[in-house]
Amino acid sequence: MTRVDKLILLAVLGLALGSFAVAGLRRGAEVSPAQAQVVVEVDGRVVDKFPLADLKPGERRQVRGPLGYSVIIGGDNKVRMESSPCPDKVCVARGWISLPGEAIVCMPNHIVVHIVGPASEKSYDAVTQ
Amino acid sequence: MEGQTRRLLYLSLLVAGGTALHVFEGFLPALSALPGAKLGLANLASLLALALFGPVEMWWVVILRVFFGSLLGGTLLTTTFFLSLAGAVGSTLVMLTAARLGRGALSLVGVSVLGAVAHNLSQLLMAAFLVRHPGIFFYLPYLLLFALPTGYFIGVTASFVLRAFPPGVKQAQWKKHPARGVVPRAWNM
């Protein structure tokens, strides 16, 4: 291993820690979780959108993806993927999300569940299609 | 003529070995809940192709390996395949650039770590494109951190494997293409 190799190792470590810091800051900067909305997307299309507070603890909603039905379940102002027909269950392992900006992504079933704040809706300058 | 046959033989072995590692890694249980976090065993074949032969041969080994590996693993043309392909192409581009720019100063370990990082980045980009949502970048910090030990491990392993190659193979290659491939320094790491 050469000196440049070691520098690269350090740089990657720095990059990783830096991105942790950025992720933490972004989360802290987001707004009032009380008015958060849950957005459910399949293949990039919004199929469901409701206030997080409306999803009572234990309440389930089914989302239909190409592999079948994934089930999300509500908690105390939070939501998680309870079950999914995907092979890897990465989405289930993601656990609870509750803050605007957080997302559960199920790649195999093409489902994204994410949370937006009331303000972040208007924070786009423009949308191109 | 003999050199051509030998070159073909070694390249075929690298494609076969890479394919086997690709399939084998698909059988391993997920290391963690991190999507795309894996050892990158198949990158061993790519690194050896780069060190022994050069950029063109590396592309052949990488592309053929992803194709055959996905075919045997039953993931051809599925989401998994496109994620593999994105990771392989992205990491190969970065590894080749690093090997060229860092010739003489960089060993296979550095190349491998950069390749691991590039692999995870391009896979995340592809994933974000496939689900059309940037929420997947939540995993970026974890994947960057994960690329460090795996890239290091694969790079060190490749250096050791390289040392076991008969000296004739390496020297013949280096006489023929002194400007290609990575760093003679990788031999005596």
Nearest residue to B90 via CA among B116, B111, B64, B118: B118
C-alpha distance from A13 to closest chain B C-alpha (Å) = 7
- Say yes or no: A52 and A77 in one domain: yes
Residue among A1, A93, A110 whose CB faces B189 most closely? A1
Please report whether residue A127 resides in a domain: no
Residue A7: which domain range? 1-30
What confidence tens digit (pLDDT) does each residue in B39-90 have?
899 999 999 998 888 888 899 999 999 999 999 988 888 888 999 999 999 9
- Say yes or no: A14 and A48 in one domain: no
Work out the pLDDT band at B31, boundaries 50, 70, 90: low
C-alpha distance from B18 to closest chain A C-alpha (Å) = 23
B24, B38 in Cβ contact below 8 A? no
ipTM, 2 decimals? Answer: 0.81
The single-letter code of the amino acid at A78 is K
The CATH T-level fold of domain B2-28+37-178 is Arp2/3 complex 21 kDa subunit ARPC3 (1.10.1760)
Number of domains present in the structure of chain A: 2
What confidence tens digit (pLDDT) does each residue in A4-36 have?
899 999 999 999 999 988 887 776 555 555 678
Please report whether residue A37 resides in a domain: yes
Query: Could B136 and A8 be called an inter-chain contact, meaning their C-beta atoms sit closer than 8 Å?
Result: no
Please report whether residue A128 resides in a domain: no
List A50's β-bridge partners, or say none: A38
Look up residue B83 and give its two tokens: 């994620």
Please report whether residue A22 resides in a domain: yes
- Say yes or no: A53 and A25 in one domain: no
> Is the alpha carbon torsion for B92, B96, B97, B98 positive or negative?
positive
Chain B partners of A5 at a C-beta cutoff of 8 Å?
A: 106-107, 109-110, 113
Query: Could B133 and A16 be called an inter-chain contact, meaning their C-beta atoms sit closer than 8 Å?
Result: no
Chain B partners of A110 at a C-beta cutoff of 8 Å?
A: 130-131
- Say yes or no: A11 and A57 in one domain: no
CA distance B36 to B125: 12
- Say yes or no: A48 and A26 in one domain: no
- Say yes or no: A50 and A98 in one domain: yes
Is residue A110 pLDDT above 50, yes or no? yes
CA distance B4 to B53: 12
CB pairs under 8 A between A and B: 99
Report the CATH number that the domain containing residue A62 is assigned in CATH.
2.60.320.10
A6-10, A81-85, B83-87, B178-182: which range is least confident on average? B178-182
What's the average model confidence in pLDDT over B135-152? 90
List B166's β-bridge partners, or say none: none
